[in-house]
Structure 1
Amino acid sequence: MSKFRLKLTALFVIMIGVSVLAAGLLMGNSYQKNHQAALRDHMIRELHVLNAAAPWPEQGNEAEQSSYLQRQAQRFKEIAGMRVTYIRTDGKVMGDSDHEPGTMDNHLTREEVQQALSDGTGSSVRRSATLKQNMIYVALKVNLDKGDTNQGIIRLAMSLGDVENSLNNMWLALVFGLFLLFAVAAVVSYRVALSVTRPLERMTSAAKRMANMDYAIRVPEGGSDEVGELARALNAMAGSLQEQLDEIRQNGTRLQSVLDNMTSGVVMIAHDGRITLYNREAELLLGSSVRERVGRSYAEIRQHFELVGLIRELLENPVSVHEELTVYYPEERLLEIHIVPMTMSIDEEPGLLIVLQDVSAIRRLERMRSEFVANVSHELKTPVAAVKGFAETLLSGAMNDPETAKSFLTIIQDESDRLNRLIGDILELSKIESRRSPLQFSPIDLPMFLGRMSELLAAEAAKKDIVLDVQTEEGLFLEADEDRLGQIVMNLMQNGINYTPEGGKVKVRAEIIPALEDGEEEMVRITVSDTGIGIPKKDIPRIFERFYRVDKARSRSSGGTGLGLSIVKHLTELHHGTIRVESTVGVGSQFILELPLLQP
């Protein structure tokens, strides 16, 4: 039970109790006064009857009169049951039904006697010192003789014990009724308080849950009174807040989804240097998690000294900045950084919004494009210059010397072939990169396919006394584009022959790689290894770049264009496969090609 309900119940009970008690006191007092007034009127009538029945004696001396009045008083006491006292106007008691007159005090100062002398009748209520109880006294002034100015007083006295007993019984009934009424009032008040406080308690509980952002709570609306109106207003407010909260959450989810899926890192820093936003891409670019950064100072990003210094400078002097910055953690990257001042709220100093973009690949591609243009120009210029030079020599008179002319024409033909291969490889690479030549997949019998590749290169290998060794599982099939797969394998085998000294060996092996987990696809691994000069470790990461040569002089003497491995890399990716190289200088190299057994 709530404190408010207890207080309300107690208030109701106290109000009812005070009202009943006041009414009881008023009623008891009124009852007592009315009873005494009725008793006094009755006693006055009795006094008139007594005076008529036994008038004050007019003859005789004082002793005779006293004796007569004493007898009348005792006789009337026996008849009416009330104490009778005869008093002279000077206060002397002439007769009394309960005591000897001679033993009694002068009664002139009695209140009822004084009122009777002045008004004709008088009354008072007091405790009798003689009888030791509360008494009501009524006095009547009587004339001793018609026309005589001498007067006497007859007084009746009656005990109020019966009245008091009646009042005590009434007070006992009143107290019992009051307790009973208190009990009934407590139950009724509790029910009333419950009907008032229960809706308020529900609304208070609902308001507390709303304060904790639980807007799904609803309060029973009840009737059409003010409490019901309040409940309906509270429910309407909760519904409105729920809709707004849902919309805010949806907007927050959409915003978070956008931030998490952006290809740019976003960092927001408040004016006091605390990081307030740090998206997923920023985690990848700067190498720390949201939990480590949000709510903490930007100065704790100790791995990026230059970035921290730039942020510090811009917080002191907020301006827009666009720079490129190299970071080395978690790995070396070139970042394009946009920093703009941004105010979080109207009355707050501006913070910073930082947008990070990894441009390492873009700059690398730009560099590769420049190198490609330079390499193409250089590669085209060399055979063209040779053809032009020897043609000019022939035109200048070398045609007259048959042997010289034949030698020059042979060189011109070789350079023309080289130029033709170079242009063909460039066109082929361009076609592959632009996806203008879609692959046509079909099942390929690998043992037969690799045997055919070996036969095509057998004559070239024989010139250098190189052994071609092809090993494959029988019945091994692979789904691929046969022409493109032929380009891949032919390039790898030709490279092995070209870079292997005389008397060496080029080995081709094909095998199945079983799936390690459920759901994985089976792969076919084709390994082309040689016993050639090998590739230095520093050159391995760039071996598949266009026009990249480990030994430029040897490549040119072998007739290579520098595009073969780049073509192999692109064709492998079109087959949804991978290729890597392992090599040791002076021992040899092996190119490991892994392709899906079945194309997706």
Structure 2
Amino acid sequence: MNKFRARLTFIFIALIGSSVLLAGIFMARMLQQSNIDSLKVNMERELRIIMTTVEWKASGFASMEERFQYFTGKALMLKQSADARVTFIQADGTVLGDSDSDPKGMENHSDREEIIAASRDGIGYATRFSSTLGRNMLYAALPVKAGDEKLGYLRLAMSLTEVEQSIRKVWLGLLSGLLVVFVLAGLISYRIAYGVTRPIELITSVAQQITDMNYKYRVKVSKKDEIGQLGIAINRMADSLQLQMNRILEDESRLKSVLENMISGVVMIDRDGNIVLLNRSAEEILGFSAPELLGKRFDQAKQQFEFTQLIQECIDSKAHIRDEMVFYFPTERILEINLNPISEVSAKWSGLLIVLHDITAVRRLERMRSEFVANVSHELKTPIAAVKGFAETLLAGALDDKETARSFLQIIFDESERLNRLIGDILELSKIESKRIPLHFSPVHLQSFIGNCLNVLRSQAMSKEIELQMSVPEDIYMEADEDRLRQILINLLSNGINYTPEGGKVSIRVEHMTGGSDAVESDKVRFTITDTGIGIPKKDIPRIFERFYRVDKARSRSSGGTGLGLSIVKHLVELHKGTIRVESEVGVGSKFIIEMPLIH
């Protein structure tokens, strides 16, 4: 832009300087010509005056020498009055007299330009350098006639020194003025060029910033001329671009946020088969980070062969494909794979979008549901079969034997009770899992509360000579749903009694746990229920909280358990924002540890 400004300034100076220079040359030439024309008029007038005072007739002179003397004297006299060189020339070109030189030594003047012009036109002029005087001279000549007879020529010569000095002064003034004009023109031109180019420079700078995606820059518009209108247009364009870019960035941010927070994995493959997009869930599912896969072809991405084959099939068919596949890396899981071809507006195929859903948990839940239905059916079928069998036996005639009938009726009653407990536990578990049980928190004094729980179970423990122990601080309170907390503790204590041999021991210990800076958040209550029972094998510990899972199925059924107690306990503990874990050793006993917040 500075080069453009300098070029524009130079053009302005050149135009102004050329105009002034041409005008000065024309004026000098006009002045010179005017001075010369004025001299010519004066010289002609003086020539005619001199011509009347000179006698040209030859009869008055005895010899040529006298003629030389006469005309030379006249020339010298006239020079003083005319202030010019005076020359008398004979008709044949012989110089008769000259005011500035000896006529005898002067060459013939018939070939002089002014003499030839005077002979032809009646008056002649010539401007040339005088070798005799050493300067430029203006010559004027008039023919001298007597009737039709040409007697000679009278010539005046005036120096052009004054004219040249005058022209020189004009040139000096012209050059001085031209220099001043150049300086002023340069300043004015630069100012004009600056005024023209500076807004363009600013607009160009803003346009460059917009090109570099810096949309906050704007043109400062101070005038409403064409450049101002251009600046306004640039600002409007910048506003529009900034608005559009903000929308694009917002959409991009939303899309990125959606992709990054999707549970499903998303993979995009371009028309060349290269992986161009991979969200975080896809990285976790496939077991590779984005830098490891982006830019690589799908068949070179170290993926499972069946998955690669499925992608190739979709590329070949360009049709939607849905399939389920077991992946073994990084962990074993079941994936639902949706492959969707991507088409441009022109319906031209441009790539492939793959959506990966981890349905391992869904399939596990379906399996658990099936197992649950099968277990419920089995658990319901057993007491129902017993009731039906003994009822048929009684109807077949066993009623006649009162002792047998009483025994059968007791069995029918026990099985119906077991069936009632099973149905109750199933309904209870269903309510808990669907979170349809509201908890009513209230302060609970744990020492008296646990004492009451043990009293409820004391008769059951005494029947097996099992010792019940408790270790609870006297001053400890906690916020809990009293009914649900009782259900948790009685269930665990009852299990301990059921699976502890005669003469064993079941104990419960309560501890107040503190830690951290926020007492409300960190204060917890730990319940530890310990028995000296048969224990749980290590392989069964991870599954004991599953529905209907029994370690010893025969003994569990004989003890009257439904297989749902520990599952109910786990859900109730989690509703209290707590945790439960178990430690056990076969033949030594089990320990259930529950931790709950002191205050909700």
* Same fold? TM cut 0.5: yes
Q: Is 2:474 aligned against 1:494?
A: no
SS at match of 1:108: coil
Q: 1:532: which partner in 2?
A: 533
The whole-number CA distance in structure 2 between the counterparts of 1:238 and 1:41 is 76
State how 1:346-495 maps to structure 2 within 5 Å: 346=346, 349-495=349-495
Q: Is 2:319 aligned against 1:341?
A: no
Higher mean displacement: 498-507 or 423-432: 498-507
The answer as to whether partners of 1:578 and 1:595 remain within 8 angstroms in 2 is yes
Q: 2:37: which partner in 1?
A: 37
Q: 1:522: which partner in 2?
A: 523
Question: What is the TM-score when the length of structure 1 is the normalising length?
Answer: 0.93
The answer as to whether partners of 1:66 and 1:95 remain within 8 angstroms in 2 is yes
Q: 1:11: which partner in 2?
A: 11
The answer as to whether partners of 1:120 and 1:140 remain within 8 angstroms in 2 is yes
**Which residue identity lines up with residue 149 of structure 1 in the other structure?**
E
The whole-number CA distance in structure 2 between the counterparts of 1:97 and 1:299 is 119
SS at match of 2:149: coil
Please give the per-residue CA displacement for 1:70-123, whole angstroms capped at 9, x wherever unaligned: 101111122222111111121111111111111111111111111011111111
Q: 2:82: which partner in 1?
A: 80
Q: Is 2:167 aligned against 1:167?
A: yes
Describe the shift of the 1:326–1:561 C-alpha distance in structure 2 as closer, same or farther (beyond 3 A).
same
Deviation at 1:382, TM superposition (A): 0.8
Please give the per-residue CA displacement for 1:139-185, whole angstroms capped at 9, x wherever unaligned: 11111x2x251321111112222222222222222222111111111
Please give the per-residue CA displacement for 1:119-145, whole angstroms capped at 9, x wherever unaligned: 1111111111222221111111111x2
Percent of aligned positions that are identical = 55
Q: 2:225: which partner in 1?
A: 225
Please give the per-residue CA displacement for 1:469-515, whole angstroms capped at 9, x wherever unaligned: 32223311111111111111111112222223334332322222324
Q: 2:574: which partner in 1?
A: 573
Higher mean displacement: 56-65 or 152-161: 56-65
The whole-number CA distance in structure 1 between the counterparts of 2:572 and 2:372 is 19
SS at match of 2:465: coil
Q: 2:583: which partner in 1?
A: 582
The whole-number CA distance in structure 2 between the counterparts of 1:118 and 1:259 is 110
The whole-number CA distance in structure 1 between the counterparts of 2:137 and 2:503 is 156
Q: 2:139: which partner in 1?
A: 137
SS at match of 2:547: coil
Please give the per-residue CA displacement for 1:375-416, whole angstroms capped at 9, x wherever unaligned: 111011111111222222233333444444343333323222
The whole-number CA distance in structure 1 between the counterparts of 2:183 and 2:587 is 111
The whole-number CA distance in structure 2 between the counterparts of 1:99 and 1:120 is 26
**Which residue identity lines up with residue 189 of structure 1 in the other structure?**
S
The whole-number CA distance in structure 2 between the counterparts of 1:7 and 1:297 is 56
The answer as to whether partners of 1:303 and 1:329 remain within 8 angstroms in 2 is no
Within the candidate set 114, 118, 128, 1:112 is matched to 114
Q: 1:238: which partner in 2?
A: 238
Q: 1:506: which partner in 2?
A: 506
The answer as to whether partners of 2:466 and 2:503 remain within 8 angstroms in 1 is yes
Runs of 5+ unmatched residues, structure 1: none
**Which residue identity lines up with residue 77 of structure 1 in the other structure?**
K
The whole-number CA distance in structure 2 between the counterparts of 1:134 and 1:157 is 10
**Which residue identity lines up with residue 124 of structure 1 in the other structure?**
A
The whole-number CA distance in structure 2 between the counterparts of 1:270 and 1:591 is 55
The answer as to whether partners of 1:318 and 1:350 remain within 8 angstroms in 2 is no
The whole-number CA distance in structure 2 between the counterparts of 1:302 and 1:581 is 41
Q: 2:91: which partner in 1?
A: 89
Deviation at 1:521, TM superposition (A): 4.1
Deviation at 1:451, TM superposition (A): 1.7
Deviation at 1:299, TM superposition (A): 4.5
The answer as to whether partners of 2:270 and 2:351 remain within 8 angstroms in 1 is yes
Q: 1:285: which partner in 2?
A: 285
The whole-number CA distance in structure 2 between the counterparts of 1:294 and 1:222 is 51
The answer as to whether partners of 1:57 and 1:65 remain within 8 angstroms in 2 is no
Higher mean displacement: 395-404 or 333-342: 395-404
The whole-number CA distance in structure 1 between the counterparts of 2:307 and 2:538 is 33
Deviation at 1:251, TM superposition (A): 2.9
Within the candidate set 68, 74, 90, 2:70 is matched to 68
The whole-number CA distance in structure 1 between the counterparts of 2:211 and 2:527 is 67
The answer as to whether partners of 2:341 and 2:349 remain within 8 angstroms in 1 is no
The answer as to whether partners of 1:334 and 1:360 remain within 8 angstroms in 2 is yes
The answer as to whether partners of 1:270 and 1:344 remain within 8 angstroms in 2 is no
**Which residue identity lines up with residue 205 of structure 1 in the other structure?**
S
The answer as to whether partners of 2:341 and 2:352 remain within 8 angstroms in 1 is yes
Higher mean displacement: 291-300 or 553-562: 291-300
Runs of 5+ unmatched residues, structure 2: none
Describe the shift of the 1:537–1:343 C-alpha distance in structure 2 as closer, same or farther (beyond 3 A).
farther
SS at match of 2:521: coil
Deviation at 1:236, TM superposition (A): 1.8
The whole-number CA distance in structure 1 between the counterparts of 2:303 and 2:585 is 36
Q: 2:269: which partner in 1?
A: 269
**Which residue identity lines up with residue 167 of structure 1 in the other structure?**
I
**Which residue identity lines up with residue 193 of structure 2 in the other structure?**
A
Q: 2:103: which partner in 1?
A: 101
The answer as to whether partners of 2:143 and 2:150 remain within 8 angstroms in 1 is no
Please give the per-residue CA displacement for 1:2-54, whole angstroms capped at 9, x wherever unaligned: 22211111211122122222222222222222222221222111111111233
Deviation at 1:585, TM superposition (A): 3.4
SS at match of 1:549: coil
The whole-number CA distance in structure 2 between the counterparts of 1:268 and 1:7 is 55
The answer as to whether partners of 2:56 and 2:151 remain within 8 angstroms in 1 is no
Q: 2:323: which partner in 1?
A: 323
Q: 1:598: which partner in 2?
A: 599
Question: What is the TM-score when the length of structure 2 is the normalising length?
Answer: 0.93
Superposed structure 1 runs of 4+ greater than 6 Å apart = none
Deviation at 1:298, TM superposition (A): 3.9
**Which residue identity lines up with residue 472 of structure 2 in the other structure?**
T
Q: 1:302: which partner in 2?
A: 302
Q: 1:545: which partner in 2?
A: 546
SS at match of 1:350: strand
Deviation at 1:366, TM superposition (A): 1.4
Describe the shift of the 1:340–1:206 C-alpha distance in structure 2 as closer, same or farther (beyond 3 A).
same
The answer as to whether partners of 2:97 and 2:103 remain within 8 angstroms in 1 is yes
Deviation at 1:261, TM superposition (A): 4.0
The whole-number CA distance in structure 2 between the counterparts of 1:276 and 1:462 is 72
Q: 2:130: which partner in 1?
A: 128
Q: 2:557: which partner in 1?
A: 556
SS at match of 1:267: strand
Describe the shift of the 1:522–1:327 C-alpha distance in structure 2 as closer, same or farther (beyond 3 A).
farther
Residues paired across the two proteins, number: 597
The whole-number CA distance in structure 1 between the counterparts of 2:3 and 2:587 is 94
The whole-number CA distance in structure 2 between the counterparts of 1:86 and 1:347 is 111
Higher mean displacement: 147-156 or 286-295: 286-295
